[in-house]
Amino acid sequence: MPKDVAEAVLYLASDEARYVSALNLVVDGGFTSVNHNLRAFED
Q: pLDDT by residue (tens digit) across 12-41? A: 999 999 998 867 888 888 888 877 676 655
Q: Who's near 1: CB < 8 A, 6+ residues apart?
A: 27, 29
pLDDT at 27: 87
Residue 8 predicted with pLDDT over 70: yes
For residue 17, give the DSSP letter. Answer: G
pLDDT at 30: 81
